[in-house]
Chains A and B, each alone.
Chain A
Amino acid sequence: MVLHNKQTLIEGLFFLLFGLVILLLIPSQIMVTPSIHTTTTPAFIPTVVAVALMIVGFLMVIKSFRAKHKTTKNIDFSLESFLRVGGSILLLVAYIEMFRIIGIVVASAVFVAVFSYIFGLRSWVKMAVTVVVVPVVVWLVFEYVFKIPLPHGFLF
């Protein structure tokens, strides 16, 4: 699917909606405590931001209708790129969750292998070297040189 001159309209509507959502959230999400000053409240800046975002969104919607020419730049939203990015987000979530179970060093080794394969690395020797060297060097630098405690799991 290729989106072209509808892009500004969609973005404008998004900003308009985002500003509206902030406005609607303010009463429930901003706890106003008794204050020494009464000129502004903690809701002042978020309200200004929300209204300004709605104005910007509205201007973008108008701009999208007034555009005489179709935009030349297309946004590629192919299924393949969606799957690659979506899949890598899921893999990153799995990587982060695996810290607690197998530890950050072992989890990093596993995911360096997975990601280098996705990026197209097919040399097993290079992959093996990367998988061992990268997590070990980073672990040594963070835990021993900079004394930062890292999460360890049942494997390491």
Chain B
Amino acid sequence: MFEILVDAMSVFFTLSNVLAVALGLIIGIVIGAIPGLNVPMIVALLLPITFYMDPITGLSLLLGVYKGGTYGGSISAVLINTPGAPAAACTQLDGYPMALKGQGGKALQASIYGSVIGELIADILLIALATQIARFALKFGPNEKFSLVFFALVTIGVASGQNRLKGIAAGLIGLFIYSIGIEPISAASRFIFGNINFYGGIPFLPMLIGLFGVSEFFVQIEKKAVAGSKETVIPISKNREDNVISMKEFKANIWNILRSSFIGIGIGALPGSGSSISAYVAYGAARNASKDPDSFGQGALEGVIAPETANNATVGGALIPLLTLGIPGDAITAILLGVFLIHGIVPGPELFTKSADLVYPIFISLMVGNVLHLVIAQLGLKLFMKMIQISKAILFPIIIVLCIFGAYSVGTSMFDVYVMLFFGILGYIMKKLDIPTAPLLMGHILGSLFEKSLVQSLILSKGSIVPFFTRPISLFFLLLTVFFIFWSGFSSYLRKKKNARSR
């Protein structure tokens, strides 16, 4: 293992790869910090550019964006009381009160340290466990693969907050969109409507740019013009004590950091969860474990460290099922799955045998990303604070131009541009109606594996579904799915009961 990593280092350490990680982190932090812009959107916009890069360079850039974007949201959460990314909404609870007390610098330092340590622990665990999990997953036949994909699709639908039925419907629509084009087993055409452009299926990238880029453009354009207004940024104190974390404060938070890291990794590894959930769970756990729980919400340092550590640890946690099983956990990892496929890398058990020359350098890029994250976040803080104030009247016209150029460049086809526009409108309607877009994307991207494994299983068993229940791993995933549905329904029932009692 150690020798493989040393070889991977010699492959990774080129100027272009290191610069790609650094650039990805800077872009991610800036995008994460600006409310209204989000990581899936910018990954979608950068994706066409990575086509023309070496796979390691392109993936390093996008993984840098993922890491940077997850942290970047905390800057605006602390300084302008508006989370730049959903995952930072929890950071805001104590980060903003700290900024009001003149300790904004300390809150941001806590956020940087928490994020980097959380990421580091998650990445080490990913590197240590990935090969073992992948080796085990090599035993999976079509039955196991189908049950696993079924589990992933159901959980991401069911885990869509209070809108479970909407989440499931979105996943089903994603499966329907996948089914447009040529069927992979018998090559029969489906839902072509006489248009030859549909034979190749719905193109992934224009769909992605539409769902995450163009839809946000519509959301922003709907709001009234506010070009002259600027966000009020709370200034950082000049007093050194308010801007640094003392060794005593750091030591007092070691358990908090470790606990939050493992919460982040565990939740990240589950399909359908993601960094927002892990941040809140870690925050709750930190509060329960705190000697002074009443200080939470009033500007408690622990209340900033816990969610920030957990949400960045989720990044590494989410990469575990993605790389070892080929199963994405949320919208960003679903996009990354598409990125890997576009670059000819198929995430899953065979990744470590067939694409070992690519996957280990990517592990190195994650580790290098942690070091660069620490440096860039510290040095660039003042610049990132200024970027929060950039006018949306300039930003969003730039974004729409990038969307159009990006969608066109995929296949130099006007059809792709119109597909992007269609999904932009669909994404906007879904946002207005509170229908999650992640299950739709998952349905589309996992549709192929879902159908192929189902048909192969049925061919092997001559049409019988019994092997799904007699093969132990397949049965395990099906039981897990049933458990998850009941657990989700039961916890929702308990929540409703609690709310009714408090009323």
Q: A residues engaging B (CB < 8 A)?
A: 7, 11, 15, 18, 22, 25, 29-33, 35-46, 49-50, 52-53, 56-57, 59-60, 63, 73, 75, 77, 81, 84-85, 88-89, 92-93, 95-96, 99-100, 104, 108, 111-112, 115-116, 118-122, 126, 130, 134-135, 138, 141-142, 145-151
Additional pairs, 19, CB under 8 Å, beyond known A32-B188, A49-B176: A11-B433, A15-B169, A31-B189, A46-B176, A46-B190, A53-B176, A56-B168, A59-B165, A73-B434, A75-B433, A77-B432, A81-B222, A104-B408, A111-B397, A115-B396, A122-B227, A145-B52, A146-B49, A146-B51
Distance between Cα atoms of A121 and B396 in the complex (Å): 11
30 cross-chain CB contacts under 8 A: A7-B433, A29-B190, A30-B188, A39-B458, A41-B186, A42-B183, A42-B188, A45-B175, A45-B179, A46-B179, A52-B168, A73-B434, A85-B428, A88-B217, A92-B214, A108-B404, A111-B397, A112-B397, A112-B401, A119-B221, A119-B392, A120-B225, A120-B228, A120-B393, A130-B397, A130-B398, A134-B397, A135-B401, A146-B52, A148-B52
- Choose from A43, A44, A49, A120 the contact partner of B172 (Cβ within 8 Å): A49
User: B417 in the interface, Cβ–Cβ < 8 Å?
Assistant: yes
Q: Which residues of B contact A145 (CB under 8 A)?
A: 52
User: Which single residue of chain A is at the shortest CB-CB distance from B412?
Assistant: A149
Q: Determine whether the beta carbon of A108 is less than 8 Å from that of B401.
A: yes
User: B451 in the interface, Cβ–Cβ < 8 Å?
Assistant: yes
Q: Determine whether the beta carbon of A84 is less than 8 Å from that of B408.
A: no
Q: Which residues of B contact A142 (CB under 8 A)?
A: 405, 409
What class of interface size applies to chain B in its complex with A?
A: 35 or more
User: B379 in the interface, Cβ–Cβ < 8 Å?
Assistant: no
CB within 8 Å for A96 and B417 given contacts A11-B433, A37-B185: yes
Q: Determine whether the beta carbon of A119 is less than 8 Å from that of B169.
A: no
CB within 8 Å for A45 and B451 given contacts A57-B169, A92-B421: yes
Distance between Cα atoms of A146 and B189 in the complex (Å): 34
Distance between Cα atoms of A44 and B331 in the complex (Å): 27
- Contact flags (1/0) for B353-387 with A, using CB distance below 8 Å? 00000000000000000000000000000000000
B190, B214, B417: most-surrounded residue (chain A CB, <10 A): B190
Q: Which residues of A contact B400 (CB under 8 A)?
A: 92, 111, 115
- Choose from A29, A50, A99, A111 the contact partner of B414 (Cβ within 8 Å): A99
- Contact flags (1/0) for B193-226 with A, using CB distance below 8 Å? 1000000000000000000001001101110111
Interchain nearest-CB distance for B166 vs A (Å): 7
User: B173 in the interface, Cβ–Cβ < 8 Å?
Assistant: yes
- Choose from B173, B405, B421 the contact partner of A150 (Cβ within 8 Å): B405
Q: Determine whether the beta carbon of A84 is less than 8 Å from that of B222.
A: yes
Which 5 residue pairs across A and B have the least CB separation, nearest first? Answer: A120-B225, A120-B227, A121-B393, A119-B393, A42-B188
Q: Which residues of B contact A119 (CB under 8 A)?
A: 220-221, 225, 227, 392-393, 396-397
Q: Determine whether the beta carbon of A126 is less than 8 Å from that of B394.
A: yes
Distance between Cα atoms of A46 and B434 in the complex (Å): 25
CB within 8 Å for A150 and B408 given contacts A85-B218, A88-B221: yes
Distance between Cα atoms of A39 and B55 in the complex (Å): 39
Q: Determine whether the beta carbon of B393 is less than 8 Å from that of A93.
A: no
Distance between Cα atoms of A101 and B125 in the complex (Å): 55
- Contact flags (1/0) for B281-317 with A, using CB distance below 8 Å? 0000000000000000000000000000000000000
Q: Which residues of B contact A148 (CB under 8 A)?
A: 52, 409, 412
Q: Which residues of B contact A122 (CB under 8 A)?
A: 227-228
Distance between Cα atoms of A151 and B417 in the complex (Å): 13
User: Which single residue of chain B is at the shortest CB-CB distance from A3?
Assistant: B433
User: B247 in the interface, Cβ–Cβ < 8 Å?
Assistant: no
CB within 8 Å for A53 and B418 given contacts A60-B165, A147-B52: no
User: B344 in the interface, Cβ–Cβ < 8 Å?
Assistant: no
